[in-house]
Structure 1
Amino acid sequence: MNKHKKNVREVALEVLEAIEKHQSYSNLLLNQVITKNKMTGPDVGLLTEMVYGTIQRKMTLDFYLSPFIKKKLEAWVLILLRLSLYQMVYLDKIPDRAIIFEAVEIGKRKGHKGIASLVNGILRSVQRQGLPSLNEIKDPVERLSIETSHPLWLVKRWVEQFGFEKTKAMCEENLLAPVQTARVNTTLASREEVVSALTEEGYSVQPSNIIPVGIKVLQGNLVHSDVYKKGLISIQDESSMAVAYALDITENLNVLDACAAPGGKTGHIAEMLNRTGLVTALDLHPHKVKLITENANRLQLPNIESVVMDSRKAGETFKEESFDRILVDAPCSGLGVLKRKPDIKYTKSLEDIHSLSSIQQTILDEVSKLVKKDGLLVYSTCTVDKEENEQTVAQFLQRHPDFIPHPLTLPESLQALVGNDGHQLQIFPQDFGGDGFFLSCFRKKP
């Protein structure tokens, strides 16, 4: 029996189905599928583009398709239509006839002739009649929601918190492909040495103008580089690199990273300590703690100790006032990383934000006891939401009169973005193309 080898579009359809059905994370699933189907070269790029693009623009695609769909479709048929329309509207290298032909073939193979002709009919009608206009949506907030494919509740919330213009810029930025950035492990090499080693390997990179140890990737995936394998770099977003600076690290400090996995910030702290002192990295899940340990070994950092522990119970293990610095990079809604994980925007709800906010408070309350007098506590999230960020900070300071706001220590380029109070920083995705991130610093009174 001749087993049909799946082409890129069929694989894309399968991935999109799995994401929708099981709410799997797109980035993890994509990597598994690429490995399983032994995909290489241009196919990997096309698959990634189609999967992310279709998820990223799902609400816009549904708006475009809705006038042409007359009855309820099976889930996979709707996904196939979205995937095909995404290519027709947003990818200019593939002719429409080829996209429609492929969609019809998949419809036949996965369903039957009836489905194939339905798919053909809908896509040809779109081609003939053109897309419905977004200007039909009169309410500007609702139009922004459909146009940039962000749920209405979220766009409304952001508009209330940050105003329409800032929200519009953020929603539009979230549709762009993320740029890979890396952090140089300065205990092993300088940024200049790493840039030249990567260039020799054939990668196109340039120094970051945001972070002194950062590198921006113009072409290629640095995970496959020898430089990465030797531990000279870590893949990390520029916004996330700001966090370790805020801890104001000097050598020989005792630091606790309370929610550490997968260990990007842990590594950065250990590098800033210049292999002195100790970073104790906690995470709830054993498989994630294993990642932190593997990362520490790759980076040749002996001053990291990773422990499986719920940071809400850290007080049961560690003595009060035993750490010079504590980082709480708290579990959050992740609304700052929608470029990298576009599926998050459709699965998160207001209830999630409320429940996360209370977990954040609990972790801060617990670990604050462990900060030495005159020590620093840094709170960070990869989200853009005042309840999880500014409100959490205000409530913490209210409950803990022994802590006071402390000015953020940051690279020069980020100082301009710090709030008027000097101890809080909200990075928006549109600020320099990094993730949305929040940072705040407190000092325990002497």
Structure 2
Amino acid sequence: MKKNDNATARSLAIACLATWSGSGKPVQSYLDVMIHDSILSNEDRQLAVMLVMGVLRRQEYLDLLISRCATTALPKMKPLTLAALRIGVLQIYFLERVPDSAAVNETVAALKKMRQPSWLLGFVNATLRTLAREKASLSSAELAETVEHPVWLTERWRKNFGEEQMREICRINKIEPELCLHVNTSRTSHEQLTQLFVEQGIHVRSGRYAPDSLIVPDWRGAVTTLPGFTEGLFRVQDQAAQLACHLLGPFHEQGRYVDGCAGLGGKTCALATLTPAGASLQAVEPDNRRVRLLRENLEREGAADRADIFHGTLEAFAATQPSLFDGILIDAPCSGTGVIRRHPDIRWNRQPDDFTALQSTQLALLDTAAALLAPGGVLVYATCSLEPEENQQVVEQFLTTHSALRLSNCRDFLPNAAASTVDAQGYFSPLPTEEIEGFFAARMVLIGD
């Protein structure tokens, strides 16, 4: 297929936002295709991603500014027009390294490359120039008041967490996340990887909660270009996901373990490091693309011989197993409201009934896993959701039909530094902060001989 050699970072960002608008699909799926079909440099690709994600994080405030100066009401604008204005305003108000004149001119030039009509070029040009001219007089105090989330979602969080915590979650979700790495301690040490980055002039610091985490706060390039990536010295993984893997312990020399929703293999790779050499590890994943990437990640980290991949559903996997397992991790599909900072489109894609839509799937996964568990075995249920319908309510409903399973306090299996992430019920339930994503995990043990 011929590449799009006419795209710029801004035209790609505008096209991506316009195409995504109203689709309900992950914006990353559009970004991936458009970037793949372009001949943009790595720098321009990064700019395109930054513009798209920046708009989604600041959409409410951007729209407030546009509505003050545009001669057309926002609801009457076509998605492409509104996307172009948001891209332009984002640069003027939030990207200090881009001069206002360049922000205006390059946004209009992007529309011209997209062969948009002259009247649209004039409208966008005039609106952006007015916004640039009035920047000093437009109150920035309102920026702090915009929560950048749908009202129904903030009302929900206000009810569940209180006013102060709701606003803190919204504040965190406005901020571009720092890059968090999980050191592959089967190939290097925390100290050695830190030294490697320092020698390359890359600033890093240790994570607050997970012992093998490393934060790279200023990195804006492709992760694949970081020193040590090709050699499998680390994986990209938030501290919450790193800690969730510890909950499957204590790990036994001849233990049998399953990552029941393996995805791209981040937790599988972590478990390959945590489990002893004599233990067995199975990774279950039905999706073709994810299985391919799962295999690539295991190979890159030198863990291909530590985990067997089952290409299929957990139910199909269960039908093939003659023996029971000592530990099963179910990282269930969910709404993802705990990772909005990293995936800012989630807040605009979700609807109120989404939080119960996956309950049957989540419970079915737990039912299947429970049947595979050996006496004394550990079952960990995890999501990246903040919503009780996907977390506590699922666990409570599951336990009413599985009386042989008992909740175990997650605090007993986490590092001391992570003690504050465990709630009064013993659930691992950190809310989003600048250091960790929102997450939930319950640890259950099968009672019996």
**Superposed pair shares fold, TM > 0.5:** yes
Aligned partner letter, 1:117: G
Tell me by how many angstroms 1:193 deviates: 1.6
1:1-400 matched pairs, under 5 angstroms: 5-20=6-21, 25-31=26-32, 33-34=34-35, 36-40=37-41, 42-67=43-68, 68-70=70-72, 72-109=76-113, 110-127=115-132, 147-220=146-219, 221-250=222-251, 251-301=253-303, 302-319=305-322, 322-400=324-402
| Aligned counterparts of 1:132 and 1:313: Cα–Cα separation in 2 | 59
CA contact (8 A) 2:259 2:329 kept: yes
Q: 1:5 to 1:205 in 2, by over 3 A?
A: same
Tell me by how many angstroms 1:206 deviates: 2.5
Q: 1:242 to 1:4 in 2, by over 3 A?
A: closer
Tell me by how many angstroms 1:420 deviates: 1.6
Q: 1:175 to 1:106 in 2, by over 3 A?
A: same
What's the secondary structure of 1:332's corresponding residue? coil
Tell me by how many angstroms 1:296 deviates: 1.5
| Aligned counterparts of 2:77 and 2:60: Cα–Cα separation in 1 | 16
Matched positions, count: 434
Q: 1:384 to 1:6 in 2, by over 3 A?
A: same
Tell me by how many angstroms 1:299 deviates: 1.5
| Aligned counterparts of 2:111 and 2:212: Cα–Cα separation in 1 | 50
What's the secondary structure of 1:416's corresponding residue? helix
Tell me by how many angstroms 1:236 deviates: 0.8
Tell me by how many angstroms 1:365 deviates: 1.3
More off after superposition, 78-87 vs 57-66: 57-66
Task: Say what the alpha-carbon RMSD is for the aligned residues.
Answer: 2.5
CA contact (8 A) 1:108 1:115 kept: no
| Aligned counterparts of 1:335 and 1:35: Cα–Cα separation in 2 | 28
CA contact (8 A) 1:173 1:433 kept: no
TM score, norm. by length of structure 1: 0.89
| Aligned counterparts of 1:413 and 1:356: Cα–Cα separation in 2 | 32
Aligned partner letter, 1:121: A
TM score, norm. by length of structure 2: 0.89
- In structure 1, runs of 5+ residues without a counterpart are 137-142
CA contact (8 A) 2:337 2:384 kept: yes
> What is the CA deviation profile of residues 282-341 of structure 1, one whole-angstrom value per residue up to 9, with x for unaligned ones?
11212212222222221112120111222244442224x600001111011111111111
What's the secondary structure of 1:375's corresponding residue? strand
Tell me by how many angstroms 1:134 deviates: 9.2
| Aligned counterparts of 1:107 and 1:258: Cα–Cα separation in 2 | 46
More off after superposition, 174-183 vs 272-281: 272-281
CA contact (8 A) 2:261 2:332 kept: yes
Tell me by how many angstroms 1:393 deviates: 1.3
What's the secondary structure of 1:359's corresponding residue? helix
Tell me by how many angstroms 1:256 deviates: 1.1
CA contact (8 A) 2:378 2:444 kept: yes
- In structure 2, runs of 5+ residues without a counterpart are none
The residue aligned with 1:139 is: none
Match of 2:423 among 419, 426, 436: 419
> What is the CA deviation profile of residues 238-274 of structure 1, one whole-angstrom value per residue up to 9, with x for unaligned ones?
1110111111142331001111111100111111114
What's the secondary structure of 1:204's corresponding residue? coil
